[in-house]
Structure 1
Amino acid sequence: MIMSTLFWKTVKLSPVLLFASLFLASGASAAESNSDQTAEGWSTAAMNLDAEPAASISSTLNDGATLSEPIPATDTSQPAVTVSPRFELADSTFPEPVPAAGTTSVESNQEVLQQIQRYGNEGSTSLDQVTSVGQLRDVSPGDWAFEALRSLVERYGCIAGYPDGTYRGNRALTRYEFAAGLNACLNQIERLIGTGGFDETELETLRRLIQEFEAELATLGARVDNLEGRVAFLEDNQFSTTTKLRGEVIFGLADTFGDTIDGGDDDTNTVLGDRVRLNFETSFTGRDRLRTRLEAINMAEFNSGVTGTNMTRLGFDGEEENDIAIDELWYRFPLGDNLLVQIDAANGEFQDTIIDVVNPFFDSSGSGSISRFGRFNPIYRTGSGAGGTLTYGLGNVLELSASYFADEGADPGEDRGLFNGTYAALGQITFKPTENITVAGTYVRSYYRGKDFNDDEGNVNITGTTGSLLARRPFTNDVATSADSFGIQANATLGRFSVGGWVGYQDAEAKSGANEGSDADIWNWAVNLALLDLGGEGNKLGVVFGMPPKVTDNDIGGREDDDTSYHLEAFYRYQLTDNIAITPGAFVIFNPEHNDGNDDIWVGTIRTVFSF
């Protein structure tokens, strides 16, 4: 008789513990999921921002994307606006290493974490304790387990329901889930035992259940202890709760070949240079980003002083002798669902803001074109310094951008400051009829004060040091100059094949000197092709062909480019590992300085990028 009673009590109690296990496990998982979102919410929210950006504002809020980019690439609660890769807070090119702790392998710990994440994917909010079975609106007295559920709720107090008042009793569970739920329920029962709420028969049943799942409980307990140790290690050693450190290091091996433009021999030697960038990415709300970039660079500039022309410059050069300086300092944040704002305090440039330059596979100095000219339309280089940018998204297909930069915005001197010196103001309309096609029309109004008694070098640079010397300064460096720049950019990506390009026109006007009022016309264009994942995931073959900026007409005689230079470039980016990429490439300038009397100049480089 005693054995019969024990048997039926066991049968009655087993389904009770089974259902309890399910929801206690789910509750624990949901709570852990919420904890992760609290700690990492800003890195997985809804905005994608990279060092080299490029992309659209549509329905989700590269130096790697239109306003459609999630703040973090893994955000599960995206806002009503889509913001492209340039807005992402989590940069896919910078994986996040996890420190090791304990004796369990990284793969094993990751497997457990994935299981825990799966357990909680039914909901993102914590489960609520149920005090009456009547609170579960999808459970009725006719259900076969109704009595068991009522016993769990009223006698043992270890059942939980979802916030919407459902129980979801048909949901499947794994043995790990069962073990986790059983362990949590046993803790509740242990409390009841201490108060005398169990008789000997029920205790025997519990002992048998514990014995049945002893191995799973022991394994789960060990793994939970190990994970707790790893979490404690991360908390004790984390850099900051609001700031992430991301880095990029470039080693560049480069040389030029051919005669200089004056007919002299090319005396340049092979060089090995570097560029180091450390980005401190900070978020205060989960949808904003403050970037502070430290940069040290010593990569030879193959400019007019070396080859006789600026057309031979690399896309990642700079000669600062590795002195550390703040290269970027900006704050980016959304206003509502459709408007994104960026404020640059130092060294801002149009291509590094939330403006899409519509050249996604070539615009990055670390993973795109190896040349300065091949990265994007030179009209984006007409302004820099301190300023701000606004981008407003209209649905998924259209966005409007406006930006303003003052070259000497921090200088209170005469003909300086935010509004009295050199500046550039940009307006752009970006149209994206499909996910794979983007077209943009751009206008820039710029002014350069020219050289004065406080400035021996001057700052007239209409084409951003990408074309001929005449295109850079059509009226000499002493003359204050303004320019109206117009550009059309387009890109289409079809599977693993991308084609794009641009056309740029600039109307320059002399604003001082004996030739005040004189005009000059400057043109440039380029087309490019990219084959993605060629030879392996992450690899890229790129080809660029175009005409660097050229003065086609000038009211001042003798300051026009009579012939035409052409730029032809090819590179192959090989993704060696997730954190290392090697890009051999070369480009040739035919008729340098738009003079067919000059010999062609070749530039070759091997760019190796380490990201972390």
Structure 2
Amino acid sequence: MEQVTSVSQLSDVRPTDWAFQALQSLVERYGCIAGYPDGTYRGNRAMTRYEFAAGLNACLDKVAELVTAGTSNLVKKEDLQKLRRLQEEFAAELATLRGRIDVLEARTANLESNQFSTTTKLNATVWFNLTSAFPTGDIRAERSRTAPDSPFAAPTRDANNRPTRVERGQPETTFSYYAFLTLNTSFTGKDSLVTQLVFGNGNSPANELVSAGFYNSWGTPFLDQTGTPTANVVGIREMSYTFPVGDKIQVAIGPRLNYYRYFDGNRFTFFMKGATSFNSNGSTLLNAVDRGSGAAVTWQVAKPLKLTAAYMAENTEFLNPAVFNTASNPREGLFNSSNTITAQLEYAPTNSFNLRLIYARSSLKPYNGFIGGAVGEPLPYGYADDGFGGRVRDSGADAFVVNFDWLLGRNFGLFGRYSYGQLEINPVNRDRSGGDIKVQSFQVGMGFPDIGKKGALGVLSFVVPHDYISGRRFLLAGGGNGGTQYEVEGSYYYPITNNIAIVPAFYAIFNANNFDGNPTVFVGNLRTQFSF
């Protein structure tokens, strides 16, 4: 409520209103009437005796102020008599109101003396994950024969130039946790300094079945991970500062920007409530830099169009800093590390439909001589060599993504993605010819918001995470025997309270690791989510 000095400031009060003169007197003679922030009085709204007592108390205080100031000639005798009668009639409500104010002031003082910060808000989210993977037979995977239990050790090529293969059996059920602590600081009310801490101990069972380089990809719930190179160790997931430039532009800078705050969003696949697996949360081909050092600019071109562009150099929290985090390494630095330049045009003509067109140009460094792993997109994980087991040089890559979500009704919507990627292969051995790996991926699905309860979300998703068009000869891990892997996923986010939710999810993976003879793998995950 805002104080007014003239009844003309109240836009919904007219001289023809039956109480106009009374209001005019209270406003202009005593100054004890307040309006709403939008300039209205809303005189037809019903009020409680406590609300009336609050208004009466304001007028009593104003009269006392006028008398004390020696301006009692402004206060009419009959007005004082009326106020005394009202004061007697509402004595109980006034006493209660003063008591409530005293309690509120005491609570406010206590909060101010014990608050964490006047500028910073702390939010936390914790997830418990119970996960099982059930292959219907032994799973063939391309892995090192000398380290078959490692999902990171690259295979070698045998006498037939074929990547080495191993058989993987039934993994055990796991129960793990993952957590975010997010500090949001604002100095002006329009800016935001984000510091997000992460820790966890998840190692999902499907990681026992994947080919080398595919750790935390197919069959793995996104929230079933450690979040850092070492389990149970706190790391910094995000650190960035966002501020406005005018009314239509937002600029974000930082040593650890979260790529997915700016690109490839989708109402039905966001990991907090939507599709739950790594392969369904976003494009499998789009970007090798999950978190990076750099800047992002978002421009609201016009009401339906928004343009976002960013440069980020690799600085991802879950990768080993002894090998990765190249943006903060002076030997490679901000502009000579694995990096990406991305642009996204978003078209949102209504609240129910969003279309995103994304292009990313990346410069990728080989690690241990090969392109791939978690920093290999548009190579969707796996490893690429020169086609003969030899090492490769830095490589350029392009990715194109079309992404939409469409809410067709209160409880039903559609979504989809198409991604295309091209990765250059530049052998270290000058006698070897290079080439390109060309790959595409597809995703279509249905969303069911508010099914069963307001705030709930059911999702069904079909994904082909990597369909190689050409260049399969360069794949050291991921090519399989020429098959094409595809996945079906279902999940249901159910909020028990405002702070607790459960999320059962079920996946079926066919032709795992791109071997068309591999048995089907089923994965079940039960997630409990705590937000506070």
Please give the TM-score of this superposition, normalised by the length of structure 1.
0.69
Instruction: Please tell me whether the aligned partners of residues 482 and 509 of structure 1 are also in contact (alpha carbons under 8 angstroms).
Output: yes
Paired residue type of 1:313: T
Paired with 1:192 and 1:423, the residues of 2 have a C-alpha distance of 69
Question: Aligned residue for 2:391?
Answer: 478
Change (3 A) 1:463 1:341: same
Question: Aligned residue for 2:239?
Answer: 329
Instruction: Please tell me whether the aligned partners of residues 299 and 317 of structure 1 are also in contact (alpha carbons under 8 angstroms).
Output: yes
SS at match of 1:409: helix
Q: Work out the number of aligned pairs and report it.
A: 475
Aligned counterparts, 1:107-186, within 5 A? 126-128=3-5, 157-159=30-32, 174=47, 175-186=49-60
1:343 aligned residue (241, 245, 253)? 253
Aligned counterparts, 1:241-320, within 5 A? 241-258=118-135, 259-262=138-141, 264=167, 266-302=169-205, 306-308=209-211, 310=214, 311-319=218-226, 320=230
Give the drift of 1:552.
2.6
1:609 aligned residue (525, 529, 532)? 529
Paired residue type of 1:554: G
Paired with 1:586 and 1:338, the residues of 2 have a C-alpha distance of 42
Paired residue type of 1:505: Y
Q: Does 1:400 align with 2:307?
A: yes
Paired residue type of 1:209: L
Question: Aligned residue for 1:432?
Answer: 348
Instruction: Please tell me whether the aligned partners of residues 372 and 382 of structure 2 are also in contact (alpha carbons under 8 angstroms).
Output: no
Alpha-carbon displacement from aligned partner over 1:159-206 (angstroms, at most 9, x marks no partner): 558799x99696656343432222222223335556676898876554
SS at match of 2:405: strand
Change (3 A) 1:305 1:424: farther
Alpha-carbon displacement from aligned partner over 1:236-256 (angstroms, at most 9, x marks no partner): 222111100000001011121
Change (3 A) 1:189 1:379: same
Change (3 A) 1:389 1:596: same
Give the drift of 1:459.
6.0
Paired with 1:440 and 1:141, the residues of 2 have a C-alpha distance of 53
Question: Aligned residue for 2:493?
Answer: 573
Alpha-carbon displacement from aligned partner over 1:256-291 (angstroms, at most 9, x marks no partner): 111222574524211111111100000111111111
Change (3 A) 1:172 1:474: farther
Instruction: Please tell me whether the aligned partners of residues 177 and 202 of structure 2 are also in contact (alpha carbons under 8 angstroms).
Output: yes
Paired with 1:243 and 1:188, the residues of 2 have a C-alpha distance of 37
Give the drift of 1:544.
1.0
1:374 aligned residue (280, 286, 295)? 280
SS at match of 2:335: coil
Q: More displaced, 581-590 or 559-568?
A: 559-568
Gaps of 5+ in 1: 1-28, 31-125
Give the drift of 1:143.
9.2
Give the drift of 1:477.
8.5
Question: Aligned residue for 2:470?
Answer: 553
How many percent of aligned residue pairs carry the same amino acid?
32
Change (3 A) 1:345 1:478: same
Give the drift of 1:472.
10
Give the drift of 1:372.
0.5
Paired with 1:265 and 1:231, the residues of 2 have a C-alpha distance of 60
Instruction: Please tell me whether the aligned partners of residues 449 and 460 of structure 1 are also in contact (alpha carbons under 8 angstroms).
Output: no
Paired with 2:500 and 2:387, the residues of 1 have a C-alpha distance of 42
Question: Aligned residue for 2:155?
Answer: none
Instruction: Please tell me whether the aligned partners of residues 548 and 566 of structure 1 are also in contact (alpha carbons under 8 angstroms).
Output: yes
Q: Does 1:412 align with 2:326?
A: no
Gaps of 5+ in 2: 142-165, 315-325
SS at match of 1:445: strand
Paired with 1:547 and 1:140, the residues of 2 have a C-alpha distance of 66
Give the drift of 1:306.
4.5
> Normalized per residue, which structure has more strand?
2
Question: Aligned residue for 1:354?
Answer: 262
Paired with 2:414 and 2:25, the residues of 1 have a C-alpha distance of 67
SS at match of 1:261: strand
Change (3 A) 1:204 1:490: closer
Give the drift of 1:213.
1.8
Instruction: Please tell me whether the aligned partners of residues 546 and 566 of structure 1 are also in contact (alpha carbons under 8 angstroms).
Output: yes
Q: Does 1:469 align with 2:382?
A: yes
Q: Does 1:587 align with 2:504?
A: no
Instruction: Please tell me whether the aligned partners of residues 585 and 606 of structure 1 are also in contact (alpha carbons under 8 angstroms).
Output: yes
Paired with 2:15 and 2:270, the residues of 1 have a C-alpha distance of 65
2:435 aligned residue (510, 518, 540)? 518
Question: Aligned residue for 1:505?
Answer: 420
Question: Aligned residue for 1:189?
Answer: 63
Question: Aligned residue for 2:519?
Answer: 599
Paired residue type of 1:525: F
> Normalized per residue, which structure has more helix?
1
1:492 aligned residue (406, 413, 417)? 406
Paired with 1:236 and 1:345, the residues of 2 have a C-alpha distance of 33
Please give the TM-score of this superposition, normalised by the length of structure 2.
0.79
Q: More displaced, 461-470 or 249-258?
A: 461-470
SS at match of 2:104: helix
